[in-house]
């Protein structure tokens, strides 16, 4: 039986236009979720036989607090009525099943934010999920967010960059899984009994991206004595302007994964490949966004120039020195971009000072995109393993492989009788180590990078 979210006699306590996070039920919900999370295993289940496990009655009581809070908050979110109704049912089923591996498929299918992209529209999202670049376990997480969909972005999506699944979003508040480096909300991270045939939305938190960009790039420019042009410097001091650049960058990047001369699975989520293949795919999408931003600037779109600066500076400064070195494909893409610009004279590191020829950097960045696009186009006619080696040749032409690399020795060093996916085991966790420049930069920015965990526009403003 479907539970009614707002039964007679329940007072929501606020009119529909009020913020979810200002409602007294929100801190109750958040506190209850935080009480349940530590008891969960990596798959989201709760083992009540474990030595430190809480009593089942205690967890059931906390879950009731979550359900009651969802019911109280529902009137603030009439556009999510179907989702919140299904959510209560999924939560109840989890409890009735003894808190085994959670299944939120029904509520996931009911949550359809991309169908109603209205600027400023708020959503309460509650699932058992892992947070990419954050918590790897499928814990219960709650986040309140707002849609970012200004008229200018909606017009670009309608006329130039059709992407009906993309959601630009910002944080209102969140539980511990998002007090991390995670800046995405993706349906594939959610605990379900079976994966849907296709996902119908994907969200990226442009406020977190902008806030950490501003902090890291400001520090990096200070460390390297890089003098930014006035229009680029303006991004460091303007959160709203920076958010607009990121939401446009994200929309075009996300779209690019399914456009161009591609393999059958452009996201490569169903394939086991060497991590430099993922690095090239992510970089290809960023370079395409850069290329489109050049055209947008020429067409008078104010955010076009800003996307060029944010892509270059974020890729050059933050990506290579963030996260572990274990198959860090985003870091690899940043290293490759730096080395390519350096090789072609668009940036110089002289007298312990970094200088960039911005106009040349634009030209050279477009050329790198063309090299990767050529790799993809010619790869359609190659066997998978040959394609991987050609990609390795492209990357190793600019980045020095680890001296102990088997792949660097060429095909003769590998057991080619094995299927390609088995040869991935011969890839070193750090196949392309950091250069001396980045080793030094990583040490100087370590504290700044750490300080951006869990950052939002509001927390960044308070720290300023």
Is the same domain home to 142 and 218?
A: no
Quickly count helices (H) and strands (E) in the chain.
16, 7
Q: Is residue 145 part of a domain?
A: yes
* Residue 243 sits in the same domain as residue 136: no
Range of the domain at 24: 20-200
pLDDT of amino acid 347: 97
**pLDDT attached to residue 6:** 38
Among the three residues 160, 184, 200, which one is the final residue of a domain in this structure? 200
- Evaluate whether residue 27 is within a structural domain: yes
pLDDT for residue 12: 34
The vertex-377 CA angle with 269 and 421, nearest 5°, equals: 35
Q: Across-strand partners of 347?
A: 356
Give the DSSP H or E segment for 3: none
In 133-246, DSSP assigns E strands to 139-148, 166-174, 184-185, 202-205
For the chain, the domain total comes to: 2
Boundary-marking domain end, from 200, 222, 247: 200
Convert 133-163 to b/e letters by CB count within 10 Å (16 or more is b).
ebbebbbbbbbbbbbbbeeebeebbeeebeb
Select from 200, 217, 251 the last residue of a domain.
Answer: 200
How crowded is residue 129: how many other Cβ atoms within 10 Å of its Cβ? 28
168 and 217 in a common domain: no
Confidence at residue 17, expressed as pLDDT on a 0 to 100 scale: 65
Cut 0.85: pTM above it = yes
What DSSP letter does each residue of 235-272 carry, written as one string? HHH-HHHHHHHHHHHHHHHHHHTTSSS--SSTT-TTS-
113 lies in the same domain as 254:
no
Neighbours of 283 (CB within 10 A): 25
Whether residues 159 and 221 share a domain: the answer is: no
**Could you state, in chain order, the average pLDDT of each consecutive group of 10 residues for the chain (464 residues)?**
37 58 98 98 97 96 98 98 98 98 98 97 98 95 98 98 97 97 96 93 98 98 97 95 98 93 62 91 97 97 97 98 94 98 98 97 96 95 94 98 97 95 96 98 97 93 78
């Amino acid at each position: 039986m479907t539970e009614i979210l707002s039964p007679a006699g329940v007072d929501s306590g606020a009119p529909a236009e009020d913020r979810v996070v200002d409602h007294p039920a929100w801190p109750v919900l958040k506190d209850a979720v935080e009480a349940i999370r530590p008891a969960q295993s990596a798959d989201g289940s709760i083992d009540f036989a474990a030595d430190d496990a809480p009593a089942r009655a205690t967890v059931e009581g906390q879950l009731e607090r979550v359900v009651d809070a969802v019911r109280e908050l529902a009137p603030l979110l009439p556009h999510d009525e179907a989702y919140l109704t299904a959510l209560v049912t999924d939560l109840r089923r989890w409890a009735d099943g003894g808190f085994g591996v959670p299944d939120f498929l029904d509520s996931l299918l009911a949550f359809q934010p991309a169908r109603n992209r209205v600027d400023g529209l708020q959503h309460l999202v509650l699932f058992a999920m892992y947070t990419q670049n954050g918590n790897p376990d499928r814990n219960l997480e709650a986040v309140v967010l707002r849609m970012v969909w200004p008229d200018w972005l909606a017009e670009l999506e309608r006329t130039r960059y059709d992407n009906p699944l993309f959601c630009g979003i910002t944080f209102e508040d969140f539980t511990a899984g998002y007090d991390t480096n995670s800046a995405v909300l993706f349906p594939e991270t959610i605990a379900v009994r079976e994966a849907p045939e296709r996902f119908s939305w994907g969200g990226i938190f442009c406020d977190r991206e902008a806030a950490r960009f501003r902090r890291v790039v400001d520090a990096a420019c200070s460390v390297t004595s890089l003098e930014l042009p006035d229009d680029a410097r303006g991004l460091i001091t303007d959160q709203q302007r920076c958010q607009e650049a990121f939401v446009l960058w994200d929309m075009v990047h996300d779209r690019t994964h399914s456009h161009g001369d591609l393999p059958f699975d452009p996201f490569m989520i169903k394939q086991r490949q060497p991590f430099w293949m993922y690095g090239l795919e992510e970089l290809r999408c960023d370079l395409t966004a850069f290329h489109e931003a050049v055209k947008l600037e020429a067409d008078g779109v104010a955010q076009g120039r800003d996307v060029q600066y944010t892509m270059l500076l974020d890729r050059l400064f933050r990506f290579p020195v963030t996260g572990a070195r274990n198959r860090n494909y985003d870091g690899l893409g940043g290293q490759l971009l730096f080395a390519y610009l350096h090789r072609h004279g668009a940036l110089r590191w002289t007298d312990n000072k970094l200088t960039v020829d911005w106009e040349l950097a634009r030209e050279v960045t477009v050329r790198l995109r063309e090299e990767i696009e050529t790799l993809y186009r010619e790869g359609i006619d190659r066997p998978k393993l040959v394609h991987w080696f050609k990609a390795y040749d492209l990357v190793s032409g600019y980045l020095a492989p680890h001296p102990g690399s088997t792949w660097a020795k060429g095909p003769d060093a590998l057991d080619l009788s094995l299927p390609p996916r088995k040869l991935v085991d011969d890839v070193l966790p750090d196949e392309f180590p950091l250069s001396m420049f980045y080793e030094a930069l990583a040490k100087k920015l370590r504290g700044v990078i750490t300080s951006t965990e869990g950052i939002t526009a509001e927390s960044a403003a308070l720290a300023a």
